[in-house]
Structures are given as structure tokens and as C-alpha cells.
Structure 1
């Protein structure tokens, strides 16, 4: 779960600058205020500002030039924060034909469950889109998505019949934060029928929430038959010697 405590000044500086970059408010080449001015603006030390700018530079969002200052680089929007794969590309990488069908699209006032999934403080209007992604003749995964219309009002004009909402959202709303929940479940009768598998079949479920600086954008639940999808992560130990890491 996300922590509810207020961000530190260091994180607040990162959030503010990152938001201006990913939203397009600060285009590539934009000169960022110097450390002294930022420290005065946030009422903090230059060391705190320097730490925040160094982290943004490490994420390739800004470029720090000696004696010139810090400038916005060409943003790598998604990969700078968290990589989110496009399902169509995943299927095509397997050498299989990709397909998509929309099962339903409903606009409604958010239910209690909707508010929990999107972390909405108050009830509002949402769109629920359910669709199936295909790899060849078989169902690759079932997508169940909520879109917060308060943050993405243009989604009201989209039917999402010809294409899934994920790529549309990626191209229209720069996101700043994402959260993944990954679990394994046995398919109940509903999911078994939707995925074309036997009841009880092991399925991989990925639930993802994304936020922009305007609030929650979307919550999506992707359910895959367990033998049709795998997650791969590569990482390095925090201690370069590996002594503090479990193997």
C-alpha cells in the first residue's frame, strides 16, 4: 500500500520537477532554477536540492552542466520511472498474431470498490472497460480497467472498440507514479469462461494503478492463464559485494 505520510522536501522537489517535465510544461532544453533559488523556494538546504537534482539526472530527466546549470533532457517518460509493457508488442514478440475485442464499456458514478481501487477521496465519474487480448486464436489475457474521468475527461469520447485503452492513455496522459500488485489465483467459473481454461487453472494477475500530478488516472487488472505469461526482472544488490543479499 502507498504511504499516506507527506513526502519529504527532497521527494517534493523531485515530484514537482518531474511533473513539470512529464506533463510537457517544461520542454526539452528548459533551464531549471539554480540550486540557491530552489533552496530558497523550498526553504531547505542546497544539499537537499543537490541530492534531488542528482537523482533526476540519474533518471535522465535532466542534464547538469558545469557552470551552466540544469536543463531538461528529452524525457524517457515511462522508462524513467517504471517500464510498462504494451500487450500488443508482447504478443508480437512471440511471433503470434495480436487481436483485441472489447466486451463492455460502462460509464458510471464510482462505487465503493471503484473508489478503493483508484484511491479516490470522493465519489466521481469513472469508465469501466473490459476487453480481451488475443495471441493467435487463444485469449492472452483479460483486461478490466477503470478510468478516472476527473483526470482523463477526454476518455468519455472514446469507445475503445478498435484498440485497448492502455496505449491511448499512455499517449494522452503522462503518468508520474505507478504501483503493481502481482499474485496467482485459481480461475473461478467467470474467469475460466473468459479465458477459455478449466476452472481452477492457475492464473497470473497483475493489478496496476497509475497517477499523474492531477490525481489517480487508472486501475487495471490483467488476468493471464499461468502458462501464457511470465514476469522477468533483472536487478543488482544494494551492496556491490553481494554480501548483504540473499541468494
Structure 2
């Protein structure tokens, strides 16, 4: 391994592990050159490569800073959040916050399109990118449609990929909203109460029955939604 590759790898590891958070100023070239006993040209080569990959931003007369990764989700796709995080070059983690099995209330029935009271599983969890919260997931599962979900603890696997692996869905509906973080969401995402957030709500169903309703709540400044489409064809 060349010295510039070693420097490159060391800095990448510190960024991707979360040791150097977004906004952190990387040591100046002269300091890194002294640390690695090399020329500034070698350090500059490593930093230039990191800037090209988008991990750092180089600012004239100010130095180099760890960039804020911006996630992009396809609006009309159901994607595994773990893969979304890993596509940013960050380590993924997941934490279950709460799980409760209960009879549906009026709000649950509206979210799941239920006409009468039925058993539901109410799950709240946080997904992480590196050491930082990536999004909060608030999910309802219709246990009449997916009874096996009631036996899962969801400590190790998030409910999204669990459902995708076990229950074929035939249609989905997305709703996108701008919301202000309330106290539970702000605490889970490490934000101030009232911080603008982006919420993607999705219902999926199969054979005429709703399977699940989920709210995915992202810090607004760190997330973007992308939709691909083509011009409609004249009839």
C-alpha cells in the first residue's frame, strides 16, 4: 500500500465510522504531512481524491471539512433503508424503540383502511447512518393479514425487510409531507423540537387487504426524494 493510499484509508475510516462527523475540519495538509512523515503533495493527492468521492469539501483558505451526506430515495420504490444507508458509504445500524400488540383505534383503522377493530402491531424504531440517526420509522402492521408478525421480536431485523421477505405486496400508496419534529421524533433524531422534517407515508396491500402503514421521518436538510418518469404518450 502506498503512503497516499494509507492516508486516504485512514481518513475514510474515521469519516465512515462516525469518528469525524459532518462539519468536522480535517487537520491541515502541513499537519498531516508531519504526522505521516511525507510531503504535502502526497497529502494533497489523498485529500483531492476524497473530495472527488464527496466525502470531504475543500474550502479555499479555510481547509477541508467532512461533508453532510444527502440521502436520495426514489418516491415510487419500496427500498430497504439499510441498502439506502450503505449506498452513501456509511455503516448501517438499527434500534427498536417500542413495540406493542393491541386492538386498533380509530386512527389505526384510518391508516390501515380497516372497517372494524382488529389486532395490530405498533412499532417505532430508529435507523442509523454511521453514528447519526438517519430516520425514525413508525409502523402499523395489520395482524389479521400478517399474523406471523405478532411472533417476531424485531430486535435484530427491522420490520420493513422482514415484511418484504415474507409477504408479497401487490400495490402501494405514497404520501409525502413536510412536518415539524415533535418531542419523541426530535429526541430520536437528535434534533431540536420543531426542526423541519420530511415524512414519507406508505400503505401497502395484497389481495385487497392492507398489510402495513409506515411513516418514515427524515431530517429535512439531509434528505431528498427523487422520482423518475417519462412523457406520457398521446393516445
TM, length-normalised to structure 2: 0.66
1:186 matches 2:180: yes
Partner of 2:149: 155
CA RMSD of aligned residues (A): 1.2
- 5+ residue gaps, structure 1: 1-81, 241-247
1:219 matches 2:210: no
CA contact (8 A) 1:119 1:216 kept: yes
Q: Secondary structure at the match of 1:179?
A: strand
CA contact (8 A) 1:151 1:214 kept: no
1:196 matches 2:190: yes
1:231 matches 2:231: no
What are the superposed Cα offsets for residues 182-235 of structure 1, whole Å, 9 maximum, x if unpaired? 011121223211210112211000000000005110000010001222111121
What are the superposed Cα offsets for residues 58-107 of structure 1, whole Å, 9 maximum, x if unpaired? xxxxxxxxxxxxxxxxxxxxxxxx52111000000000010000011100
Q: d(CA) in 2 for partners of 1:216 and 1:236? A: 29
Q: Secondary structure at the match of 1:140?
A: strand
Shift of 1:151: 0.5
Q: d(CA) in 2 for partners of 1:138 and 1:217? A: 30
Shift of 1:239: 4.3
Partner of 1:126: 120
Q: 189-198 or 208-217: which moved more?
A: 189-198
* Displacement over 3 Å in runs of 4+: none
Q: d(CA) in 2 for partners of 1:135 and 1:172? A: 25
Where do residues 89-100 of structure 1 align in structure 2 (5 Å cutoff)?
89-100=83-94
Q: Secondary structure at the match of 1:160?
A: coil
Partner of 2:106: 112
Q: d(CA) in 1 for partners of 2:222 and 2:157? A: 21
Larger relative contact order (CA 8 Å, sep ≥ 6)? 2
CA contact (8 A) 1:141 1:195 kept: yes
What are the superposed Cα offsets for residues 83-135 of structure 1, whole Å, 9 maximum, x if unpaired? 21110000000000100000111000001110000000111000011100000
- 5+ residue gaps, structure 2: 1-75
The structure that is strand-richer by fraction is 2
Q: Whose radius of gyration is greater, 1 or 2?
A: 2
TM, length-normalised to structure 1: 0.62
